[in-house]
């Protein structure tokens, strides 16, 4: 298989904005196909992170992104979904959560039983990153990418960690349907993360009812 025409070529200024009538296409990539789009993906990462100057939590770096992508591509079960027209406009990638629940190590308090059960059943998938270009044609693109990646991997629960000080990313994820379920700190690290989940479908949402925490890190909202 080869990349779609235009998706493996160098990006140019303005390429991130598709034409008004062009339909957005979505494709699943394995690690070998993703390897061929590394530079385009890094460009999309930088474009998706453009914010006000001086924001320390959104400063884009090709090198850091490519290093993280390389590490993820070596993980068992790595998966990626890309979207675009004549150029990339969106991407989501990650890897399955191990059934032993080790990914949740450092979660503050007991891990909610519903999340524990979904993890043990192999239904949880880590989203390492979700990239959305600055001018996406489809305003629901992030949710579609998330749902497609989970469906492709027969998972029903997305999971991710975000530095609790990175408010722009937290706000974006919440607007894309992610739910904040608590605080997590790795034993060997100093960063405090917010743990977020993305339930796929009403049935999974119902199982997780009441687990959402307040934005400031408080207890369950009782939603």
Question: pLDDT category, 168, cuts 50, 70, 90?
Answer: confident
Q: Is residue 146 part of a domain?
A: yes
Cα distance between residue 169 and residue 165, in whole Å: 9
Mean pLDDT of 156-183: 93
Mean pLDDT of 150-163: 95
Question: pLDDT category, 4, cuts 50, 70, 90?
Answer: very low
> Can you give the pLDDT at residue 153?
94
Q: Is residue 212 part of a domain?
A: no
Cα distance between residue 166 and residue 23, in whole Å: 33
Question: pLDDT category, 118, cuts 50, 70, 90?
Answer: very high
Cα distance between residue 130 and residue 178, in whole Å: 12
Q: Is residue 8 part of a domain?
A: no
Token readout for 215 is: 């934005």
* DSSP-assigned letter for residue 162: E
Q: Looking at the chain, list the stretches that DSSP marks H as alpha helix, in order from N- to C-terminal side.
A: 31-35, 38-48, 62-73, 113-120, 141-152, 167-175, 202-207
pLDDT value at 61 more than 50: yes
Question: Residue 163 is part of which domain span?
Answer: 26-207
Q: Is residue 219 part of a domain?
A: no
Q: Is residue 93 part of a domain?
A: yes
Q: Is residue 54 part of a domain?
A: yes
pLDDT value at 17 more than 60: no
* DSSP-assigned letter for residue 104: G
Q: Is residue 139 part of a domain?
A: yes
Number of domains in the chain: 1
pLDDT value at 5 more than 90: no
144-155 pLDDT per residue, tens:
999 999 999 999
The CATH number covering residue 60 comes to 3.40.630.30
Do 177 and 140 contact (CB within 8 A), yes or no?
no
Q: Is residue 5 part of a domain?
A: no
172-213 pLDDT per residue, tens:
999 999 999 999 999 888 899 999 999 987 777 777 766 665
Give the residue, 63 or 195, on which the prediction is more confident: 195
- Average model confidence (pLDDT) across the chain: 81
């Amino acid at each position: 298989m080869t990349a779609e025409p235009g998706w493996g070529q160098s990006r140019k200024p303005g390429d991130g904005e598709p034409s008004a009538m062009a339909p957005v296409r979505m494709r699943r990539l394995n690690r070998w196909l993703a390897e061929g789009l590394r530079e385009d993906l890094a460009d999309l990462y930088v474009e998706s992170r453009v914010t006000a100057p001086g924001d320390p939590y959104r400063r884009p770096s090709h090198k850091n992104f490519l290093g993280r992508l390389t590490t993820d591509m070596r993980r068992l079960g790595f998966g990626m979904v890309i979207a675009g027209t004549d150029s990339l406009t969106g991407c989501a990638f990650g890897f399955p959560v191990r059934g032993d629940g080790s990914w949740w190590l450092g979660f503050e308090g007991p891990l909610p039983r519903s999340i524990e059960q979904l993890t043990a059943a192999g239904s949880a998938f880590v989203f390492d990153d979700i990239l959305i270009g600055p001018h996406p044609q489809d305003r629901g693109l992030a949710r579609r990418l998330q749902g497609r990646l989970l469906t492709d991997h027969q998972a029903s629960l997305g999971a991710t960690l975000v530095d609790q000080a990175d408010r722009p990313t937290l706000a974006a994820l919440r607007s894309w349907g992610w739910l904040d379920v608590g605080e997590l700190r790795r034993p060997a690290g100093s960063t405090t993360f917010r743990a977020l989940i993305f339930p796929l479908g009403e049935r999974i949402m119902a199982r997780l009812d009441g687990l959402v925490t307040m934005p400031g890190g408080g207890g369950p909202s009782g939603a």
